[in-house]
Amino acid sequence: MLRPHRAAPATVGAADAGSLLIQGDNLAALKALLPFYRGRVKCIFIDPPYNTKSAFEHYDDNLEHAQWLSLMLPRLQLLRELLSEDGSIWVTIDDHEGHYLKVLMDEVFGRGNFVANAVWQKKYTVANDAKWLADNHDHLLIYGKTKESWRPNRLPRTAEMDKRYRNPDKHPDGPWKATPLYAKRTPTEKEGGFSFTFKNGVVWTLPPGTSPRFPMHELRRMDLNNEIWFGADGKAIPARKTFLDRLTIASPPSPTIWLHSEAGNNHEAREESKFVNGVEVFGTPKPEKLVKRILDLSTQPNDLVLDSFLGSGTTAAVAHKMGRRWIGIEMGEHALTHCLPRLRKVVEGEQGGISAAVGWAGGGGFRCLQLGGSLFDADGEIDADVRFADLAAFIWMRETGTALDTLVAGTPWLGTFEGTAYCLLFNGILGDRRPAGGNVLTSAVLTALCGDHPPGHPTGHATSPTHSGPRVVYGEACLLGPARLAAAGVTFKQLPHAVPR
């Protein structure tokens, strides 16, 4: 269960912003989130401990190889359940466990849903004291929940991209870039003797294994309009002049090599951490530019982003500045000593990292939650601290396999799924905590369940909407016989033992 944090403010900034900072073990926290967020997360980014046998202050990073993989497996399985069908997951890792993690993620997400392994240049200098090769990259494993349902966004166009377009021949249509007239031949295309003679007498023949990008008539049109480049000396392989002003796709797809100049580096990340936390620096932060690129490619404003290894809070900070909702999970005290202060400063308008690039001036907010006890105790009984909303969301997920939408206050009705209505009699939901007053299915309660909603209900009906189909009712006990239940189309399930686990 998730509870308002006892040692932190209930909210920072706007209370209804939809973002959560959660302190607690991420495995238990992910399980607690599942009833509410299953299938609703658009992007997951995690930076798990690399298991490099290094001494990290905030993580156990010295696990036996098989133990590390066994710890990652259930977390990845839960993360997959939280992803939307058009969502994606991005995981940073280095060479120590990267290849094993790839196989594990193939198993969890399906090998066919693997998108790419991007390589991020985390260091811009070479370690001269390296015993073998100087390590200056990390891997970024990318999967779609359902690959065919997910497409990455295009990268925002930059001034650096435009600098690649020049106009050495003073063409009236402005700056251009030379691009090939051919493409790699697909397996279904046959090798042909395609050749073309340009007006200057140059005869161009397709290289082996390629096919023409343009038909003869289009090559002729471009040739007549001086849109073919033969090099400054007129002897280069003919190429098309691709004009900047004519681009139909304003931004390019992302490459799989991410240079530090575009996606940040470790030194930059440490400086950002110092900016928000003073001299106490988190050991392994990621730069804000790296997370921004991931979110640029994978999300739109107001999408939900999840990081279950939040670290110093970078993912949440970047998501907040970019107008995304976010959920960040961290265990230990640094959830309060690192993440909370950093995110409070973001809400206040902190100007480090990507703030200037995205025009961040502050605003929004988030809730601080703490992982509490489980729904059920060691004997299988419902914990005394469990709230109606917690149990309702859990039952709904188990019954329907989906996350629960907003509850209607003061009613036992959870919703209707595939023709069946679900109700929960628990914690005095009908206004009287005595068994006969709402936690037990009696004749009066059954009449209320099948009647109209009280005034003020959004649907204009009362404890459950007009419903002619079957009902499933969870409660502490039932005082009605099988014939009465059958006549009303009700299946009664007794708490707590009938709750699917």
Model pLDDT, residue 156: 74
Mean pLDDT of 295-304: 96
Report, in angstroms and rounded to the nearest whole number, the Rg of the chain calculated over CA atoms: 29
Per-residue pLDDT band at 462 (split at 50, 70, 90): very low
Q: Virtual CA dihedral for 294, 89, 43, 46, nearest 10 degrees? A: -80
**Cα gap 501→35, rounded to integer Å:** 12
What end-to-end distance do the CA atoms of the chain give, in Å? 15
Per-residue pLDDT band at 3 (split at 50, 70, 90): confident
**Has residue 54 got a pLDDT over 80?**
no
Length of the chain: 501
Domain annotation for the chain: domains and CATH numbers: 2-152+259-371 (3.40.50.150), 159-246 (no CATH), 388-494 (no CATH)
**Has residue 57 got a pLDDT over 50?**
no
Model pLDDT, residue 449: 80
Tens digits of per-residue pLDDT, 394-432? 898 888 888 887 777 778 888 888 889 999 998 766 555
**Has residue 58 got a pLDDT over 50?**
no
**Has residue 232 got a pLDDT over 90?**
no
| pTM reported for the whole predicted model | 0.77
Tens digits of per-residue pLDDT, 180-219? 999 887 665 566 668 899 999 999 988 888 888 898 999 9
- Residue 360 carries which side chain, given as an amino acid letter? W
492 has which bridge partners?
473
**Has residue 381 got a pLDDT over 50?**
yes
**Cα gap 262→124, rounded to integer Å:** 12
Tokens 């098989």 sit on residue:
66
Q: CB-based contacts of 414: which residues, under 8 Å, 6+ apart?
A: 392, 395, 396, 404, 407, 422, 423, 424
State the average pLDDT for the chain. Answer: 85
**Cα gap 239→462, rounded to integer Å:** 72
- 273 against 175, higher pLDDT: 175
**Cα gap 466→475, rounded to integer Å:** 21
Q: CA geometry: angle at 160 spanning 159 and 164, to 5°?
A: 110
Mean pLDDT of 311-340: 92
Q: Which of 425, 500, 421, 424 is nearest to 468 (CA)?
A: 421
Tens digits of per-residue pLDDT, 117-150? 999 999 888 878 878 888 889 999 999 999 999 9
**Has residue 363 got a pLDDT over 50?**
yes
Tokens 């290289």 sit on residue:
207
Q: CB-based contacts of 46: which residues, under 8 Å, 6+ apart?
A: 79, 89, 90, 91, 92, 307, 308, 309
**Has residue 155 got a pLDDT over 60?**
yes
- 8 against 342, higher pLDDT: 342
Model pLDDT, residue 84: 96
> Are 8 and 330 within 8 A, CB to CB?
no
Q: Which residues of 324-362 are buried (b: 16+ CB within 10 A; e: fewer)?
A: bbbbbbbbeebbbebbbebbbbbbeebebbbbeeeebee
By mean pLDDT, which of 143-147, 250-254, 263-267, 310-314 is the weakest? 250-254
> Are 247 and 23 within 8 A, CB to CB?
no
